[in-house]
Amino acid sequence: MLQCYKTDFEIQLLNLLEPVADRHGFGLVDLDWNAGNRLTVFVEPKKNPREMSVEACVELSEIFSRVLDVEDPIQSKYSLEVSSPGLERPLRTVEHFRNLKGLNVKIKLLKSHPLQIEGRVPQYNLVGTIMEVNPSGLITMNQMIGNENVGDCRFSIHHLEKAHLFLTEEEIFQNH
């Protein structure tokens, strides 16, 4: 699967938990493992993503916890949190980017793959609008630096450390 950069350990966790979420009618949007030994799993119902409930998060947390206890991929104490992806949902796969074409995103590139713009320092943190996403994971984004439109930039999904939807205040209130 074409996706943003993940550590081998995060890929192991995704491979373990994604089919479990799927069997229970949920999509695993992303997960985050941090050095503080906290695993956060972002899920949403497949049928209607807007109908995520606290009860569903609790139920999935219990299910994931049992799976993690049996498979035991985490060798230290940790806490598990199951959450909806929220308004500024994380983007991990080509499909996530394709589904949000035309919307604004915030992207953090890997330190090894900065965006080079002539006459500027290398860029690692980008904000812009998703313009095009090709099947091989090449993303075209209309980039903004401050209020300045600096034009289109292209990068591979493999060069992304993190990405998430970025809504303006106006967009947030339009959706409610």
Dihedral sign (CA 48, 54, 59, 62): positive
Residue type, 20: V
> Identical fold at 8-83 and 94-174?
no
Q: Would you state the CATH architecture of domain 8-83?
A: 2-Layer Sandwich (3.30)
Distance of alpha carbon 132 from alpha carbon 70, whole angstroms = 42
**More confident of the two residues 136 and 49:** 136
pLDDT at 172: 67
Domain segments of the chain as ranges = 8-83, 94-174
Average pLDDT estimate for 59-85: 95
pLDDT at 91: 95
pLDDT tens, position by position, 108-165 = 999 988 887 777 778 889 999 999 999 999 999 998 877 778 788 899 999 999 999 9
Residue type, 52: M
pTM recorded for the entire structure: 0.85
pLDDT at 163: 95
What CATH number has the domain spanning 94-174?
2.30.30.180
